[in-house]
Structure 1
Amino acid sequence: MQAIVQDSYQGIDALTIQTRPTPRLTPLGVRIETRYTPVMPYDLLTERGQLQQLRPVTLPIVVGYGFGGIVREVGRLRQSKLLNQPVIGAQLAGSHQEQILSTLPPLLFPVPHGVSLAAATTIIGGADAAYFAFKKSHIQAGATVLVTGASGSVGTYLLQLLHLFGVHIIAVAHSSRHDLLQMLGADQILAYDRPLPEQAADLSAVTQVIDLAGAVSLLDQLTAMLGPVKILSLALTAYHPQDPQQRFAFTSGAIMPADYRWLLQQLATKKLTAVIQEQYPFTDVKRAQHHLTTAHAAGRILLTYNQEATAQ
């Protein structure tokens, strides 16, 4: 099988596609034929060596984290009903490969009827991070929240979750994404590529900022317009607001298996919508990752595997 491999810290253009042995089935294993993997900022940071303290690895490694695929073999200690079923999951040893051996039952989730496998795959590193941020922020219905990076793979889900739970949303993104943000439930939209004070005369109702963009200069502009607020960031490990009444915290973590099942059910009942910006064959991984860094975000970029991928 083929896999996308990182064997240096030279970034996107140093990635290679290599032939590796197909993983052998184990009693606790499930062999999955990969259909989709999400392209994530996490991958790019790993490829540049920026996560070596948080995630020490021994190169070479297969890159990637999340996946969606079809179960083709089931070990004797796993449920046989999974055979030939669409599933999503996380692969700590790297997901950007044509075959995956999943050996951790809590990290594998069947996709409900009526949900496309591509849509379900966007939950990994997208809806799960958004739901984690939502729960960590303890936001109540009726509150006003400002979200940076609102049009990205996490932001597009976070807006929907906030809207679902009755939160007033001010979304910050590029001006080209205005219609998308409005469709996802944003009550007010600020374009970071235009002068912010001209767009928002009064932000006094904002009590919480959820930062998904990780842009210090943008936070500086926004916090200068805000009063006492809590700033929760999934993108910056440190930030020092100029106003001493503004409190900053970085957060990172995981949601529970039951939360993944809940998110999948929200897709099945159309209460949540997956936003897919682009799909690339996995052999075009470099182009896909460069697109992530240069294009204005509009949901998730996916890599596709096997000819049937577009039909799932």
Structure 2
Amino acid sequence: MKAVVYERYGTPEVLELREKPKPTPKINEVLIRVHATTVTAGDWRMRSANPFLARLFNGLFKPKKVKILGFELSGVIEQVGSDVKTLARGDEVFAFCGLGFGGYAEYRCLSEAGVITKKPTNMTFLQAATVPIGSLTALLLLRKGGIEDRQKVLIYGASGSVGTFAIQLAKHFGAHVTAVCSGRNSELVRSIGADETLDYTKADFTTLNTRFDLIFDAVGKIKKSRRKKLLASGGKYVSVKGTTKPRKTDLQFVKELIESSRLTTVIDRTYDLETIQEAHRYVERFRKRGNVAVKVMG
């Protein structure tokens, strides 16, 4: 099978397209013929060992645990292990790969018990592949912030993957959403539900007189001293710098929202395995709107 491999840390040029052995599923796993994956911050940070913690996880001097990146994927199940009960050959699925990564390959084995479920019927493989990371991060952080009881929500970094999902999910839970992004993305975030937009390139949003019940920092950059000015009494701050542990039921919940037309994805650009270096370079510029998809097979 074809796979994008990296044997050393560094710039996108360390990513190489190679032939690798096709994996065989264990008794509790399914073998997925991967149709699409994405480039996320987690991918390029692992590739470049930024932050240094990536080296502690994946090898101090060179990658050891993970050599094929790809945090999320969509595809078709080609083979199932003998103990698999809820998934079958031919099922179209989408999944969060976890810290094993592996989406940058034509085939990937995943545990049936993992964060994997059938693909939304109203999405293409490319669309579905962009959903797990952004939507699950947004969902779990909003829940951590008690979104059900929050009326006014500020989302900073609203035009990225996590931010665009956070807008839609916050609206689903009944919140009034103020989205902070650049002016060029104002129309985009309004089109997916934002009630108000603030252009951070023209004004300092932390000087607002408005107080928010929940501040969702989708880029992890709001300093504590500045966000305290914006929080209402009893308000809460959540950030992508916090940890989340998604479950299969969370992805199934997201799927239901998609199929009922209450949640969608935003795709900025699409690449393929042959141009994965270019995709990484683009994502590292911090200018993407929503998600960057990668076509693998199909």
Q: Give the shorter-chain TM-score range.
A: 0.7 to 0.9
Take 1:144 and 1:301, find their aligned partners in 2: how far apart are those partners? 29
- Seen in structure 2, the aligned counterparts of structure 1 residues 300 and 227 have a Cα distance that, compared at 3 Å, is closer
Match of 1:206 among 212, 221, 231: 212
User: How far apart, CA to CA, are the structure 2 residues paired with 1:270 and 1:227?
Assistant: 32
- 1:197-236 map, 5 Å: 202-216=208-222, 219=223, 223=227, 226=230, 230-235=236-241
Identity %: 22
> Which 10-residue stretch deviates more, 86-95 or 38-47?
86-95
Given candidates 68, 78, 84, the residue that maps to 2:84 is: 78
Instruction: Tell me the amino acid that sits aligned with residue 72 of structure 1.
Output: E
Q: In 2 relative to 1, CA 142–234 (structure 1 residues): closer, same or farther, beyond 3 Å? A: closer
CA–CA distance in structure 2, aligned partners of residues 79 and 207 of structure 1: 43
Aligned length: 288
* TM-fit CA distance, 1:17: 1.7
Measured in 1, the distance between the counterparts of 2:278 and 2:3 equals 16
Change (3 A) 1:231 1:224: closer
Please tell me whether residue 277 in structure 1 is matched to residue 278 in structure 2.
Answer: no
Aligned position for 1:262: 253
2:159 and 2:28 mapped to 1: Cα distance? 38
CA distance in 1, matches of 2:181, 2:130: 20
- Cα shift at 1:80: 7.9
Whether contact under 8 Å (1:160, 1:272) holds in the other structure is yes
TM-score by length of 1: 0.84
Q: How does 1:29-108 map to 2 (within 5 A)?
A: 29-53=29-53, 56-58=57-59, 59-60=63-64, 61-79=67-85, 82-91=88-97, 92-93=99-100, 94-108=102-116
Q: For residue 123 of structure 1, what is the aligned residue in structure 2?
A: 131
Aligned to 1:240: none
SS at match of 1:56: helix
How much does 1:162 deviate? 0.7
Which protein, 1 or 2, shows the higher relative CO under an 8 Å CA cutoff with sep ≥ 6? 2
Structure-2 change in CA distance of 1:53 and 1:149 (3 Å): same
Q: TM-score, normalised by structure 2?
A: 0.88
Question: Runs (4+) of structure 1 moved beyond 3 Å?
Answer: 200-203, 219-225, 227-230
| Distance 1:178-1:107 versus aligned 2 partners, 3 A rule | same
Q: What is the distance in 2 between the residues matched to 1:179 and 1:208?
A: 23
1:125 Cα deviation from its structure 2 partner: 0.8
Change (3 A) 1:226 1:103: closer
Q: Do the aligned residues in 2 keep the contact of 1:120 with 1:264 (CA within 8 Å)?
A: no
RMSD: 2.3
CA distance in 1, matches of 2:27, 2:214: 47
User: Per-residue CA shift, 1:157-195, capped at 9, x if unaligned?
Assistant: 100011111111111111111111111111111112212
CA distance in 2, matches of 1:52, 1:301: 25
Tell me if the contact between 2:269 and 2:293 (Cα under 8 Å) persists in the aligned partners: yes
| Contact 2:74-2:93 at 8 Å conserved across structures | yes
Amino acid at match of 2:283: L
* 2:72–2:129 CA contact under 8 A, matched in 1: yes
Q: Which runs of no fewer than 5 residues in structure 1 stay unpaired?
A: 236-250
Matches of 2:255 and 2:228 in 1, distance apart? 38
CA distance in 1, matches of 2:209, 2:148: 18
